[in-house]
Amino acid sequence: MKFRVERDTLADAVTWVARGLPARPPVPVLAGVLLSADAEAGTITLSAFDYEVSARISVPADVEEGGTVLVLGRLLADISRNLPNKPIDVAVSGNKVEVACGSSRFSLLQMPVGDYPSLPVAPETSGSIDGHTFTQAVAQVSVAADRGDTLPILTGVRLEIDGDRMTLLATDRYRLAMRELSWRPASSDVSYVGLIPARTLSETARALGASASVDLALGSTAGGDGLIGFEAGSRRTTSRLLDGEYPKVTSIFPTSTDTEAVIRTADLVEAVKRVSLVAERNTPVRLRFAEGQVAIEAGTGEDAQASEAVGAEITGPDIEIAFNPHFLLDGLGAVGTTFSRLAFTQSSRPAVLSGQEEEDGEPDTSYRYVLMPVRFAG
């Protein structure tokens, strides 16, 4: 194998493929990136697979001699990113892969290609979605996924598709995020439910979202019923789905509300950040909605205390409620609109956060973030 490729082209490709490589692979070959050169097509294809997630990308190269090698992925990524901005020459010499760029020379040990697992077959497209919309929706929802491993099923994002409607849902039992959006299915009667690991989905969305459109492959078209596939441009990835029945959590959404408050999102974010500086770990911030403002307080008794008030348009009875400040800030950061609307029934019941662009406009309920209150004394 022998080829020449631009530095940025190789660095971007290896970084994309190697992003999900396990830090401690169960078998050594899973730390590798498979590099295949095709002289006829004038491309090199880089692939990685750890039995959970696969990634593949093809990029143009001047291929003198085709072939396939397996090398340590993270090492190749580090080397390619740090080389000078000149063409990179790659060639096989014995059991080594020689990488040359300018006056820089590296010799990488080949890993046994025969021991590498077969990658999932290229998925067939089930439909597509706008890249920016996909990235935003995943970010809004995945913030509420569980980061622990007590209940593995809650570390996933539930994807449900019914025709041209897509719903993303995640919860860690303390908050719940749901985003409803439209996509372009290949078939109008498509119906699908899958549970995707939130971390994998977030990384995929960030990596592919810059593209104008992202293709999705569902169920058997993804290479198997336990897989889901994503593709944008020359980048393709598959992820194994989580097994298990996701809890029926949509019943948490209140059917009616007594008090609603509309607040400028940035003002509330800054106030909560400042006040929560005195809130020790797992200590809530208290919010009192009354008289055209929300008063935010933290700390009691002999502890450090802080308070601040932010103007708000309030309808309904006054209410005082307490939240984990980090969970509240996560929701405010995800809502993505100039104003936020908080809807309450009572201080012991879940509150619903949604966004709107105008203070006196209608809420955009395509994204809703439900936050469980924290009990507080007095």
Q: Does residue 87 form part of some domain?
A: yes
Task: Return per-residue pLDDT of the chain as tens, 378 residues.
Answer: 999 999 999 999 999 999 878 888 889 999 999 999 999 999 999 999 988 899 999 999 999 999 999 999 999 999 999 999 999 999 999 999 999 999 999 999 999 999 999 988 867 899 999 999 999 999 999 999 998 877 889 999 999 999 999 999 999 999 999 999 999 999 989 999 999 999 999 999 998 877 889 999 997 765 667 899 999 989 999 999 999 888 888 888 888 899 999 999 999 999 999 999 998 877 899 999 999 999 999 987 778 899 999 999 999 999 999 999 999 999 999 999 999 999 999 899 999 999 999 998 888 999 999 999 998 765
Same-domain check for residues 258 and 361 = yes
How many helices, marked H, and strands, marked E, lie in the chain? 6, 27
**DSSP for residue 178:** E
End-of-domain residue from the set 213, 240, 267 = 240
Same-domain check for residues 265 and 228 = no
Same-domain check for residues 132 and 235 = yes
Same-domain check for residues 131 and 111 = no
Other Cβ atoms closer than 10 A to 189:
7
End-of-domain residue from the set 180, 209, 240 = 240
- CA-wise closest residue to 236 among 78, 45, 81: 45
Same-domain check for residues 97 and 200 = no
End-of-domain residue from the set 115, 139, 164 = 115
Same-domain check for residues 212 and 289 = no
Q: Domain limits at 321?
A: 253-371
Whole-number Cα distances in Å, 284 to 272, 297, 322, 373, 374: 11, 9, 6, 9, 7
Please give the backbone phi and psi of residue 304, each rounded to the nearest 5 degrees, phi first. -60, 145
- CA-wise closest residue to 323 among 353, 279, 285: 285
HSE of 221 in the Cβ direction (CA atoms, 13 Å)?
15
The total number of structural domains in the chain stands at 3
Identity of residue 245: E
Question: What whole-number distance in Å separates Cα of residue 43 and Cα of residue 58?
Answer: 6
Q: Does residue 311 form part of some domain?
A: yes
pLDDT score, position 224: 64
Q: What CATH number should be reported for the domain holding residue 80?
A: 3.10.150.10
pLDDT score, position 255: 84
